Amino acid sequence: MYLFTCLGVATCYIGLAFCYHETYNEQAALSRSKKGFEESRLVPDLLSTFDPQGTLAIHFADDKVLRRPGFPMSARDTQASPSVQLYPESTGQLDSAEKFTLIMVDPDSPIHANPSGAKLHLLATDLALDRHHEPVETYTLLNNTRFLFDWHSPNPEPRTGVHRYTFLLYKGVASQTSQQPLQAPDFNSSGFNLAQFTRDAGLQNPYAAAFMNVDSASNAQGNSASGRSIDVYTLSTTIALSVLAAIYLS
């Protein structure tokens, strides 16, 4: 009986993986990403337009994952620098030799209701791709050089509203000229002009992007907004496994 149970549960996992591989709809994910940026007004507050060619999954410590646009996170959940996965629009779309630039900014600094310019929280360029094939084609971003601007975790001041911390992934490597101001001792991360930087860096529109909402009220209280929310993908996966396991054991 024990062996049968193990085999049954294992089969559930395998079956679910194949099912997810067959039914994963990247077009729906792209549409959701684009719509999320428009409904949150990151277009036009931060970007003039946004037509993603891929989607991002941002992995933080303790299995906290940002997959859907505007998912609530707390400052406590995002202390450590995350790892980033890229889901391209279609299989075989990317060359594994391509390089990328990743930027994270807070367009709601210092106050959501009256921002004075985006604040830079991360800038890394010359990022390589590590390709994975199962259950769907994905790429992990690898950093082989030090960040141009090291990770500064979200930490909004109390009573400053909800901050839309935004990850932007661009194809290509930022030009040397654009990198120089970031390396200056007096560089100020506040008032970061994203449009000017990408123009000087020779970067086109974002290839993919994601954003999370960090509520300054939760930050002040030390509460985890994401701890009270359940990621839809995680919930649906758990339910599917439970149903399939029950079928095999019945």
What pLDDT does residue 212 have? Answer: 98
Task: Return the residue matching tokens 């646009």.
Answer: 69
Rounded CA-CA distance 246/12 in Å is 10
Q: Do the domain assignments include residue 154?
A: yes
Q: Do the domain assignments include residue 15?
A: no
Residue 38 · residue 50 · CB < 8 Å: yes
CA distances for 187 relative to 191, 225, 234, angstroms: 11, 32, 40
CATH of the domain at 112: 3.90.280.10
Q: Do the domain assignments include residue 198?
A: yes
Residue 70 · residue 212 · CB < 8 Å: yes
Q: Give counts: helices (H), strands (E), the chain.
A: 7, 9
Q: Do the domain assignments include residue 20?
A: no
Report the pLDDT averaged over residues 22-46. 88
Count of domains for the chain: 1
pLDDT level of residue 133 (50, 70, 90 thresholds)? confident
Residue 10 predicted with pLDDT over 60:
no
Report the pLDDT averaged over residues 52-71. 96
Residue 67 · residue 57 · CB < 8 Å: yes
pLDDT level of residue 242 (50, 70, 90 thresholds)? low
Rounded CA-CA distance 201/195 in Å is 10
Report the pLDDT averaged over residues 117-145. 92
| Start-to-end C-alpha separation, the chain | 12
What contacts 96, CB < 8 A, 6 or more positions away? 129, 131, 139
- DSSP of 208-229: EEEEEEEEHHHHHHT--TGGGS
Residue type, 149: F
User: Which two tokens mark 52?
Assistant: 């993603």
Domain span at 78: 25-229
Residue 13 predicted with pLDDT over 90:
no
Residue-wise pLDDT for 39-61, tens only, equals 999 999 999 999 999 999 999 99
Rounded CA-CA distance 66/46 in Å is 19
Q: Nearest to residue 35, comparing CAs of 51, 56, 24?
A: 51
Q: Do the domain assignments include residue 2?
A: no
Q: Do the domain assignments include residue 144?
A: yes
Residue-wise pLDDT for 161-208, tens only, equals 999 999 999 999 999 999 999 999 999 999 999 999 999 999 999 999
Q: Do the domain assignments include residue 3?
A: no
Residue 11 predicted with pLDDT over 80:
no
Q: Do the domain assignments include residue 242?
A: no
pLDDT level of residue 96 (50, 70, 90 thresholds)? confident
